[in-house]
Chains A and B, each alone.
Chain A
């Protein structure tokens, strides 16, 4: 656990120069909150952007040959992977928390009453979206050079775009979503189960791809 925390601190140091982008993201979110956007939609959008933003760490890692730095440190290979997963998910949690706090305060300022269930739904669905995107991308980033990996990691975004653009797919997806929204307990159970299974499989795959990266 100690080594994972160290890796997270190192990742934070690595991403220090990107902090400005992160603040811009929070600012944009705050504007959308003020425009009375739904917290569910905002949470999903936020998870999407966080996934895009934190993929940059692999670009920095590649550009500066950080694999060499990691190999010189007194840590095991699995600590590098675990630390990266923990760092990215912690950032997601902090961002979502900030978003929810901003939303909550703005709702109070606008004399609207915040609905707790919406916050829970927003978090659950965005966690699912984030886990699916990151879960797919990380094993690729760990196994390939950033420039090559970048093409493959666009797949989750393309899939979502396809769902939106193909009417029949969108209808089926909407039906599933409608069913889920009407059966919230099932939605929570299914979403968290899929998220956790995705993260677990993704982590195992990352270990494999990182070990065999050359």
Chain B
């Protein structure tokens, strides 16, 4: 049986000023995948292609083992989506939002929706246009959680949330995948969120996938290297990714396979931020 909830295979999409190039990654059942990259790297475009909001030039996207266009109405019943800004009519109330969602989802659960509203303390009579960005985000999340979706696709869901709610969302996501049947594709700029909850990570830069595998491997693949300028040889400088020099020394990222031969340098465990910042500089 296919264990993959989402399979993206060599998708391409050309715009006049941007090219999404041979994007491939898989999301297994029961895990959370962080989808990271700098602004304009192609995260939202990839998500739009997965949701068939954009027409791909080539490649294949499978959701639950089925083609995402041929079986669009079937597969989307099992997907919950949250974007970085609200997609509900601003004159609607929460009741209208529920009416709209319940029309399209077979397993819409009013009870779950009510619980989510209570949990997030969302007012029922206020118009959506009067909601703060954080409240709108919570409402989208409430809907995404209320129709028994097997895959959540979240595009920058934490961007409008305060730290407490962000933490609450992360807990919710962990709770959500607990049964091993559901998965989350989570695009975010706030990498500390990803570090805490993601099992897999896909890093995209300038329309190309730089890395896609499990988080442990991602973090183990790179180390932060620090040292004095006098110790920085030309050969070593070539190996260092995203090097930053100052009067006191240098700092950068190096692949883990190269650290054994190095002596007299400070080698530290890399964080997602270190890796992303350094890798984003490659090719600049």
* Residues in chain A within 8 A of chain B (CB atoms): 3, 6, 9-10, 13-14, 16-17, 60, 63-69, 71-77, 79, 211-212, 214
Contact = CB atoms under 8 A, between A and B. Distances in A.
A65 B99 CA distance: 18
A77 B52 contact: yes
**Residue in A16, A72, A73 with the greatest tally of chain B CB atoms within 10 Å:** A72
Contact of A74 (B54, B76, B83, B99): B76
Contact of B89 (A14, A77, A211): A14
8 contacts: A63-B90, A64-B86, A64-B87, A65-B86, A69-B100, A74-B74, A74-B105, A75-B76
Contacts, number: 75
B104 interface: yes
Given A60-B89, A64-B90, A71 B81 contact: yes
Contacts of A6: 103-104
Interface size class of B (residues with CB under 8 A): 20 to 34
Contacts of A79: 73
A64 B88 contact: yes
B221 to A, nearest CB: 34
Nearest to B13: A214
B280 interface: no
Contacts of A68: 53, 81, 83, 87
Closest 10 CB pairs of A and B: A72-B81, A74-B77, A68-B87, A74-B76, A73-B104, A17-B91, A69-B87, A71-B53, A71-B51, A6-B103
Contacts of A14: 89
Contacts of A3: 73
B79 interface: yes
Nearest to B129: A64
Given A73-B76, A75-B73, 4 more contacts: A13-B100, A71-B81, A72-B51, A77-B72
Nearest to B85: A65
A71 B73 CA distance: 10
B55 interface: yes
Nearest to B48: A71
Contacts of A77: 52, 72
A13 B93 CA distance: 11
A17 B92 CA distance: 9
B72 A13 contact: no
Contact of A10 (B48, B76, B90, B103): B103
B89 A67 contact: no
A67 B100 contact: no
Nearest to A17: B91
Contacts of A72: 51, 76, 79-81, 87
A9 B48 CA distance: 25
Nearest to A72: B81
B60 interface: no
A81 to B, nearest CB: 14
Given A68-B53, A71-B52, A76 B89 contact: no
Interface in B205-255: none
Contact of A13 (B48, B74, B83, B96): B96
B72 A64 contact: no
Nearest to B70: A76
Interface in B62-115: 72-77, 79-81, 83, 85-92, 96, 99-100, 103-106
